[in-house]
Amino acid sequence: MDVFFYEAFTEEAEYLQQYLPASVKVGFTWKTIQEYSDKEPQAGLISIRTQSRIPESWVKNLSGILTRSTGYDHILAFLQQCGIDLPCGYLPPYCSRSVAEQAMLMWMALMRNLTAQTSNFSRFSRNGLTGRECEGKTLLVIGVGNIGYEVARIGKGLGMRVLGVDIVKRYDSVDYVSIDRGLGAADIIVCAMNLTAENRHYFNYDLLKQARPGVIFVNISRGEQSPSADLLRLLDENHLGGVGLDVFNHESELADSLREGRISSDEEVMNALKLKSYANVILTPHNAFNTHEAIVRKSKLSVEHIDHFLKNGEFPWPVPREKINH
């Protein structure tokens, strides 16, 4: 077999098969590596997303790894853990718009009490459903890269005042501010930062406590940046007006336990499940990338990677070794 795809859900596998040359022998599973329980890789070249944990024992049988994600911190962590340098590829931005629209979906649903609205339909009651409009509100985008810039564009299109926080000021059209100023002004905070060793647990209790009471927090970047225990505490104190998460700390364990229907003793997993019970919290299964348009782009890019690797033994978009990125 030339390449084996892990974590390939039904629609993605269909698109990949559509674009892959007939000469390339492939296999697919929707499961993660740990769920599939392989003792050895199905092929020398494997492709994963962000939830698979690659066994160190596989190293001797692998010729390359393609992560079908724009983030590659998990690949760097694997290489560092094993102390090896293996050809690894990642996908350049293919889902910036789709992820940004998911952020908008979350903050608007929270502002308009959408969960309560759908629940109240059975009684056709409007009590407790009064929401807020986006126009005139302040949107703080923390991490103004490819995705963050799309979030900012959407916010401006909705008539919002948009502020950005980033070390690198890439866009002239963005009003960049300090984190302190941004937190004091924000009605909605969106985390779109790259994951680095320095910004793990960035959105902790002390930081978000500086924001105005009632602020809505949305994370579509990495779960490691927003500790769930801190979010629970801020919700219980009524400091956060709502939380939207598409990413989670210890996400692999969370996904495995939910799909297998087993109870996990992992504290981060238990906290994520506690968040699920709050009426002003929206959780989605790391699905922000998943639109028809993005999956087409993703599939084409993946096939370009695989074709180039099988012919040249290297990837056209190799994982950079100098830093952890999203």
Model confidence pLDDT, tens digit, residues 50-108 = 999 999 999 999 999 999 998 898 999 999 999 999 999 999 889 999 999 999 999 99
317 assigned to some structural domain:
no
Do 299 and 257 share a structural domain? no
Q: What is the pLDDT of residues 198-249, one digit of tens each?
A: 999 999 999 999 999 999 999 999 999 999 999 999 999 999 999 999 999 9
Do 173 and 278 share a structural domain? yes
Do 141 and 31 share a structural domain? no
- Give the pTM: 0.90
323 assigned to some structural domain:
no
Do 224 and 246 share a structural domain? yes
Do 166 and 69 share a structural domain? no
CATH number of the domain where residue 8 is located: 3.40.50.720
158 assigned to some structural domain:
yes
Do 108 and 90 share a structural domain? no
237 assigned to some structural domain:
yes
Do 156 and 215 share a structural domain? yes
Is residue 221 within 8 A of residue 143, CB to CB? The reply is: yes
Torsion of CA 291, 296, 297, 299, to 10 degrees: 120
326 assigned to some structural domain:
no
| Number of structural domains in the chain | 2
Do 133 and 178 share a structural domain? yes
Do 48 and 172 share a structural domain? no
Per-residue pLDDT band for 322 (boundaries 50, 70, 90) equals: low
Distance (Å, whole) CA 192 – CA 110: 18
55 assigned to some structural domain:
yes
Do 7 and 100 share a structural domain? no
Half-sphere exposure (Cβ direction) of 53: Cα atoms closer than 13 Å? 11
Do 30 and 122 share a structural domain? no
CB atoms inside a 10 Å sphere around CB 157: 11
Q: What was the pLDDT predicted at 190?
A: 98
318 assigned to some structural domain:
no
- What are the DSSP calls for 24-59, one per residue? S-EEE-SS-HHHHT-SS-SSSEEEE-SS----GGGG
Selection from 188, 227, 234 nearest residue 208 by Cα:
234
Residue 269 structural domain: 96-283
Do 163 and 18 share a structural domain? no
277 assigned to some structural domain:
yes
